[in-house]
Amino acid sequence: MRWPERVTVREVGPRDGLQAEERVLSTDAKVRLIDALTEAGFRRIEVTSFVHPGAIPQLADAEAVMARIRRRPGVVYSALVPNLRGAERALACGVDEVTLFVSASETHNRHNVRRTIAESLAGFVPVAERVAAAGVRLTGYVVTAFGCPYEGDVPEERVERIVAAYRDLGAVAVYLGDTTGMANPAQVYRLCTRLRGRFPDLELGLHFHNTRGAALANVVAGLQAGVTVYDGAVGGLGGCPYAPGATGNVATEDLVHMLEEMGIATGVDLDRLLAAARLAQELIGRELPGFVLKAGKRSDLVRAVRAREAAGPQGG
C-alpha cells in the first residue's frame, strides 16, 4: 500500500452536521463553532446551505452566519445551494465556493428536491453561469453515490454521467456522498479508480457517513485509489434521517487522528479540533459519537497513563 504525503480534510459539520440535528443552534453558537474550526487550521469549511429557510430551519440564518464568521485569508468558505435563488444569496454573502447537489438515485432526488436528475442538472446551467461570472469556485455533490435507501445499488455509470455533467458545467471538484452509510471499501476503490481514470483533471472528494462503522475503512480505500480530499463533521455532528439514532458523518477528529497517525499531513491542529468538538458537543447538548472525543488521542493515552504511574501506587 502506498499513501499520499498529505490530504485535504473538509469540515462540513456546520452544514451537513447541524442540518440533521434536532436542536437548532443560535447564530452566535454557529459563529463560535465555525470560528473554532477556522482556528483549528481547516482550509475548507462548508459553512451553511442557502435553501429555502422553511426547508431546513436549522440553517435559516445562512446570511447572518456568513456575515459574522471571522474569515481567515486562504480558507475556502463554501455553501450548498439548490438553485439560482440560493446561488444569488450565497454570492451576495461573498462565499468562496458554491456547491450544487444532485442524487445518483432518481427516487432519492425526487424525494429530496422534487425533480428528476435531468431536471436538476438542467437547472444547474444558469447557476453555473452566474457563479462563473462572479469568479467563484463551483463544485458539486453526487449524493447517494454508493447506494440509495430507496433504490439500493446505484449504477456506477450513473455516477459517472453526473460527474461528467458537473465537469461540463465548469465544476472544479466533485464530492461523492455516502449519504446513508452504504459504501464499502471494495466499492469505493472500484468507483474512485474508474472516475479518476475518466476525469484525471477533476478534483474528487469523498464524503462518508459512519452509519455502519466503515467510514474510515472507506477512507483507506479512497486513499489507495488516489483520492486526497475527505469530508468530516466535527464531533460526528448529525445523524441519519433513515435510521433514527444512527451515526451520520464521520467525526472529523477521528479522520484527522487516523491520517496523522499514518504520517499523512492534514494541516489541521488536532488539539484545537478536539476543543472545537467539545464545544460542538456542549452547544448541541447531547453526547456526540466521535471516538477520539471519548478515548483521547493515542499519544495522550500514553501521557495520561505515565502521569498516573508517576503519582505512585493507587491502591488498586
Q: Spot the catalytic one: 93, 148, 192, 240.
A: 240
d(CA 134, CA 149): 36
Minimum Å gap between C-beta 37 and a copy of itself is 19
Using CB under 8 A as the criterion, which residues of the chain lie in contact with a copy of itself when the complex forms? 1, 3, 147-152, 180-182, 184-187, 189, 210-217, 219-221, 224, 240, 242-243, 245-247, 250-251, 254, 257-258, 261-264, 290-292, 294-299, 301-302, 304-306, 309
**192 tagged catalytic:** no
Residue 140 or residue 239: which is nearer to a copy of itself going by CB?
Answer: 239
Pair 242, 213: CB distance under 8 Å: no
d(CA 177, CA 308): 43
Residue 84 or residue 246: which is nearer to a copy of itself going by CB?
Answer: 246
Q: Which residues partner with 143 through β-bridges?
A: 103
d(CA 132, CA 273): 33
Minimum Å gap between C-beta 151 and a copy of itself is 7
3-state secondary structure of 207: strand
DSSP classification of residue 60: T
Minimum Å gap between C-beta 204 and a copy of itself is 17
Minimum Å gap between C-beta 224 and a copy of itself is 5
Which residue has cell 440564518?
61
Residue 73 or residue 245: which is nearer to a copy of itself going by CB?
Answer: 245
Pair 100, 127: CB distance under 8 Å: yes
Question: What spatial distance separates the first Cα and last Cα of the chain, rounded to whole Å?
Answer: 44
Grid cell locating 8:
485535504
Residue 67 or residue 305: which is nearer to a copy of itself going by CB?
Answer: 305
Residue 47 or residue 259: which is nearer to a copy of itself going by CB?
Answer: 259
Minimum Å gap between C-beta 105 and a copy of itself is 11
d(CA 213, CA 155): 23
Which residues form the catalytic set? Answer: 240
